[in-house]
């Protein structure tokens, strides 16, 4: 938190009304990250993930506006991850095939340069 002891030290263009503090400044982010928690405690948890109410007869509760938004975002993220992994697998397989083709082409060139001659030509092909 910012503590100003003597405001006369500040230049003329700095006014105290521009100094703001909020509740997020008081959250100990280092402790939360060390304990593998998210930086903002309001982004996930039972208060944000569970429905606000339930029906007594057991009907499913409709999603809230924020819940629906988070669900759609998570579906989009899952689709991006899936397509990304498919693209990576395709790239790996393509690279592997290109390397094999390159090695095969080099071997074909070497085989075409060195041909059997003399008595080796009369022997049966192995």
- The residue ranges of every structural domain in the chain are 63-126
Q: What is the pLDDT of residues 7-45, one digit of tens each?
A: 455 555 555 555 656 655 666 778 878 888 877 777 777
Q: What is the pLDDT of residues 53-84, one digit of tens each?
A: 888 998 988 888 888 998 999 999 999 999 99
CA angle 3, 5, 11 (to 5 degrees): 95
DSSP string, 86-121: HHHHHHHHHHHHHHHHHHHHHHHHHHHHS---THHH
Higher pLDDT, 13 or 49: 49
Higher pLDDT, 101 or 65: 101
22-26, 88-92, 109-113, 116-120: range with highest mean pLDDT? 88-92
* pLDDT recorded at residue 44: 76
CB-count burial class (<10 Å; 0-12, 13-18, 19+) for 104 = exposed
119 is written with which tokens?
Answer: 């008595």
């Amino acid at each position: 938190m910012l503590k100003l002891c003597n405001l006369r030290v500040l230049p003329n263009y700095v006014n105290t009304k521009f100094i703001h503090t909020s509740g997020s400044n008081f959250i100990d982010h280092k402790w939360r990250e060390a304990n593998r928690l998210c930086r903002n405690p309001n982004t996930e948890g039972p208060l944000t993930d569970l429905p606000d109410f339930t029906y007594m007869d057991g009907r499913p509760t409709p999603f809230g506006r924020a819940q629906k938004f988070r669900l759609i975002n998570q579906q989009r993220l899952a689709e991006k991850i899936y397509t990304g992994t498919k693209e990576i697998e395709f790239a790996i397989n393509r690279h592997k095939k290109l390397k094999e083709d390159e090695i095969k082409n080099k071997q074909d060139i070497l085989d075409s340069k060195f041909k059997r001659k003399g008595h080796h030509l009369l022997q049966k092909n192995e």
